[in-house]
Structure 1
Amino acid sequence: MRVQAPRGTRDLLPGELALWQRIEGLAREEFRRHGYGEIRTPVFEATELFVRGIGAGTDIVEKEMYTFTDRGDRSVTLRPEGTAPVVRAYLEHNLRAAPQPVKLFYFGPMFRYERPQAGRYRQFYQFGAEAVGTQDPAVDAETILIPFDLYRRLGLQGLDLRVNSIGCPVCRPGYREALVAFLRPRAETLCDSHRQSFERNPLRVLDCKDDACRAATAEAPSMEPYLCQECAGHFAAVRRYLDGLNVPYRVDPRLVRGLDYYTKTVFEITAESLGAQDAVAGGGRYDGLVQELGGPPTPGVGFAAGLERVVLALQRQGLGEAAEAGPEVFVAAAGAGVQEPARLLAFRLRRAGIAAATDYGDRSLKAQMKSADRVGAPRVVVVGEEEWARSQVVLREMATGTQRAVAVDELEGILKGTAAAAAADGSRRR
């Protein structure tokens, strides 16, 4: 019996990764434009980080984390999300001493034990950003704008941006009390998970995707009337920035997000082609998280996006094609006596910055030409015994079939000049 990838994981093959790399490249451009630097945190962390950061009673901590005891009898967890590790790094490396806010972005795998389905895996990939050290509502707008503009550049259609404010420790208790009073007579209609636990954290009922909870909370009270003056002013400022940038959005009173660390602004971007699991980015403000993890009171805001969801949305909208960069030239050996020189020539071209494919077998020139055609090489360098003795090769254009003898010493310059001309022609066409 063959060993296969564990359920909920998958291999990403070269043909698929061209689209992933395109998304990652454009995302890096967006982060650079907004002044974010990259951070890479460990794949596993102390379990306590997520229990304290995400919240002990959340579904992620209670049901979905990959937690184990290592050989030093320490409880460690494969990271289920990226914000808590970034905040841990902010504290551990004393980034408070740097100019504030500290703006960081990340890419990497996350792990949650969930039921696998389209666009959702147990090992999944996220990119995200965190801005730690500022209360300014402009930065809330910035973390919304980065994924929104990225998706528009990718061509995603049917984007729906929803925003809300879930208040702060000053004003949230009043809303919580009103929400519990609303839910109490409806408790028996809630889903199994929330029927007994709604009083402990009623906001999670609003985040529940179960039809029973959604129906029961359809007329739940809104947070907006309960916002304190500071939270109301902050949320109004975020909306002014979005309005000033002509970013379409709607205020959704049900939007609370599923993690305990959120305060004030929360947001989510969905794409219509994904069905029920339609979120392609989400985030918000977490002004108490740094303190919860042992630091001084420090505000922060950020977002995360699942790469699998973005890829799936693009594919379902017919935007999933991304050409993988192929070789610029194929080096073929016309005879057994020039196989080694042909391979050495391919290596030299690669070291000169030219993508060169070659054959590593003992096949005929005809078979090698077929390989060149299959890999999409626009040119073939044929190394023949007679030509090589004269320090020459034959350069063949695959599109026209024309060919000519060129000096080996001139080949690199000719190929680079052709590549530069092709790139310039492509830029003009775009």
Structure 2
Amino acid sequence: MKYQIPKGLFDILPNAKESFKEVSRWQYLESIIKKLAIDYNFEEIRVPIFEKTELFLRGVGATSDIASKELYTFLDKAKRSMSLRPEGTASVMRAFIENNLSQEKKFHKLYYMGPMFRYDRPQKGRYRQHHQLGVEIIGDKSFEIDAEVIDMLVTLFKRLELKNLKLLINSIGDLETRTNYKKALLDFLKPNFENLSEESKARFDKNPMRILDSKDERDKKILKEAPSILDFLSDAAKKHFENLLNLLDKLDIKYEVDSKLVRGLDYYDDTVFEVVSEKLGGAQNSLGGGGRYNSLLKSLGGPDLPGIGFACGLERILQTMIEEEVYFPEKEGPFLYIIPIGEDAKDFAILLAKDLRHHKISVDIDLNAKKIQKSLSLADKLNAKNALILADDEMQKKVASFKNLDKREQQEIKFEDLKNFIRDKFYKL
């Protein structure tokens, strides 16, 4: 039987036909993210890939699409319901509570990267296993922290040299705001109920604000005349949002206020934001987004601490980088590729490689070398910086031919000088 990968998944390979599935590109993106986290003083947190199902139902909201349609859920051997994580925030909040992180300090800046799972219709930029960057700040509800998180997201895309991006921002206010707005929205939608899409009809009683997020053209047409949530903001919510926008202006962060932006999870309040690609268009144009969640920790049984965060899908970011022909560094190869011809040369090469690796110099050996030119071609494919040729002549003379593969320069080095010569070359890099 020929086994194949399940639908909606893919392998990340050393060399792949589709360039966004190439591991060196993933490593480059991850290195940019890790440096960004250091620059903003975020600490990494790692949480399990599955949790009790109840956590996600409570965390992301039982009426959200993720909880109602997209969870990968299974019973363990003790008949307990478990689910693969569909996003990271709920697990981070659980870890925060369970490990009493608020006893250590009240203010935390955390980030994570890893696979998430959603049973969704696979399409470009949307997979059943996808990789996500997540950022969470816990313990501060100021508009200045909102601005820092948004600035971090915008800075990520600048460092990745992505163009044609737009920052959308909105406030969905506090509980008072949303209670008043939901009533006005339902009053507006009732006369148009029969004209709504089936998905929006299902959301009408459960979560009417999610109708604002509909991509269906019928819904969009109806929603053009819908009341704006910005007209319903409480005094406190309005002041928070105005202060945030003023600070973004001072930081020279361009944005567009979108009063229909609500995001897909039920735990948000006040600030919500999203970065979209104007080049991609369509339903899959979002590259990252997030918002504030001041009540989430408390609702999960934790301390009454506010939070804000964002998440980005790495697959979609990589695909956008490739489509925009963003520069990726050349794949790193070994510093030295040794080509030994014959058993004596092979023994010598193995001992030499051990010594050089001990000095943290990257080395590979062609243990099947028979023809020098063929092995040199292989060294080029591996992006090796230098080659060391050990054939019969070299072994008899006790010299090795050292070849710089960039400059195509070659010189003979005595065996007794070889280790120091290679180390000097390496440490001068």
Band the TM-score falls in, shorter-chain normalisation: over 0.9
1:292 aligns to what?
A: 299
Counterparts of 2:301 and 2:408 in 1: how far apart (Å)?
A: 69
- Choose which of 226, 232, 246 in structure 2 pairs with 1:240: 246
Per-residue Cα deviation, 1:113-158 (whole angstroms, up to 9, x for no partner)? 1111111100000001100111111111111111211111111011
Write the mapping of 1:257-296 to structure 2, written as runs, cut at 5 A. 257-276=263-282, 277-296=284-303
Instruction: Write the distance in 2 (CA, Å) between the matches of 1:409 and 1:73.
Output: 67
Q: What CA distance in whole angstroms lies between the structure 2 residues aligned with 1:240 and 1:77?
A: 41
CA contact (8 A) 1:336 1:362 kept: no
Is 1:381 aligned to residue 388 of structure 2? yes
Q: Given the alignment of the two structures, is residue 209 of structure 1 paired with residue 218 of structure 2, yes or no?
A: no
Please list, as runs of the form range in 1=range in 2, the aligned pairs for 1:89-100 lying within 5 A after superposition: 89-100=95-106
Alignment of 1:85 onto 2:91 = yes
Partner of 1:151: 157
How many percent identity over aligned positions? 39
Which runs of at least 4 in structure 1 moved beyond 6 Å after TM superposition? none
Please say if residues 274 and 312 of structure 1, whose CA atoms lie closer than 8 Å, have aligned partners that are also in contact: no
- Select the residue among 324, 327, 337 that pairs with 2:334: 327
User: CA shift at 1:243, angstroms?
Assistant: 1.0
The answer as to whether partners of 2:134 and 2:310 remain within 8 angstroms in 1 is yes
Report the Cα offset of residue 176 of structure 1.
0.8
Residue 110 in 1 paired to residue 110 in 2?
no
Q: 1:368 to 1:61 in 2, by over 3 A?
A: same
What is the aligned counterpart of 1:355 among 358, 362, 376? 362
Within the candidate set 55, 63, 68, 1:62 is matched to: 68
Other-structure match for 2:134: 128
Q: Determine the structure 1 residue equivalent to 2:18.
A: none
Tell me: CA distance 1:391–1:241, structure 2 relative to 1, closer, same or farther (3 Å). farther
> Which residue number corresponds to residue 19 of structure 2?
none
Q: Which AA in structure 2 matches 1:414?
A: F
Tell me the amino acid that sits aligned with residue 333 of structure 1: P
| Kept in 2: contact 1:109–1:124 (CA 8 A) | yes
Give the corresponding residue for 1:17.
23
Residue aligning to 1:365: 372
Bigger shift: residues 315-324 or 182-191: 315-324
How far is 1:391 from its partner? 5.5
1:343 maps to which residue? 350
2:262 equivalent in structure 1: 256
1:397 is displaced (CA, Å) by 2.5
Match of 1:301 in 2: 308
- Where 1:273 maps in the other structure, the secondary structure is coil
Task: Quote how far apart the aligned CAs of 1:382 are.
Answer: 1.6
User: How far 1:362 sits from its partner (Å)?
Assistant: 5.1
2-side partners of 1:219 and 1:407: how far apart?
A: 83
- Which amino acid is the alignment partner of residue 231 of structure 1? A
The equivalent of 2:228 in structure 1 is 222
CA-CA distance at 1:230 after TM superposition: 1.3
What is the letter of the counterpart of residue 10 of structure 1?
Answer: F
Deviates more, 1:1-10 or 1:189-198: 189-198
8 Å CA contact retained: 2:203, 2:211: no
Shift of 1:196: 4.2
Contact 2:294 2:308 in 1 (8 A): yes
User: How many correspondences in the alignment?
Assistant: 422
- Contact (CA 8 Å) 1:273, 1:316: kept in 2 or not? no
Structure 1 counterpart of 2:177: 171
1:401 deviation in Å?
A: 4.2
SS at match of 1:337: helix
What corresponds to 1:427 in structure 2?
A: none
Question: Residues 352 and 412 of structure 1 are in contact (CA less than 8 Å); yes or no, is this contact kept in structure 2?
Answer: no
Q: Deviations over 1:313-364 (max 9, x none)?
A: 1111111644211121110113233212212322332232222221122523
RMSD: 1.8
Q: Give the deviation of 1:385 after TM superposition.
A: 4.8
SS in 1 for 2:390: strand
Shift of 1:227: 0.9
Shift of 1:236: 1.4
Structure 1 residue 400: Cα displacement: 4.6
Is the CA contact (8 Å cut-off) linking 1:331 and 1:343 kept in structure 2?
Answer: no
- How far does residue 394 in structure 1 lie from its aligned partner after superposition? 2.2
Q: Is the 8 A contact 2:60 2:90 kept in 1?
A: yes
AA aligned opposite 1:314:
M
Asked whether the 8 Å contact 1:80–1:112 carries over to 2, the reply is yes
SS at match of 2:203: coil
Measure how far apart 1:39 and its partner are: 0.4
* Partner in structure 1 of residue 401 of structure 2: 394
Structure 2 counterpart SS, 1:131: strand
Q: What is the deviation of 1:57?
A: 1.1
- Cα distance change, pair 296–398 in 1 and its aligned pair in 2 (3 A): closer
Report the CA distance shift for 1:415/1:214 in structure 2 as closer, same or farther (over 3 A): farther
The answer on 1:45 being equivalent to 2:68 is no
TM-score of the two chains, using structure 2 as the length reference: 0.94
Q: Secondary structure at the match of 1:56?
A: coil
In the TM superposition, residue 386 of structure 1 has moved relative to its aligned partner by 5.7
Question: What letter corresponds to residue 355 of structure 2 in structure 1?
Answer: R
Q: CA deviation at 1:225?
A: 1.6
The question of whether the paired residues in 2 share the 8 Å contact of 1:206 and 1:217 is answered with yes
Distance 1:391 1:141 in 2: 65
Which AA in structure 2 matches 1:327? P
In the alignment, the residues of structure 1 paired with residue 325 and residue 11 of structure 2 have an alpha-carbon distance, to the nearest angstrom, of: 22
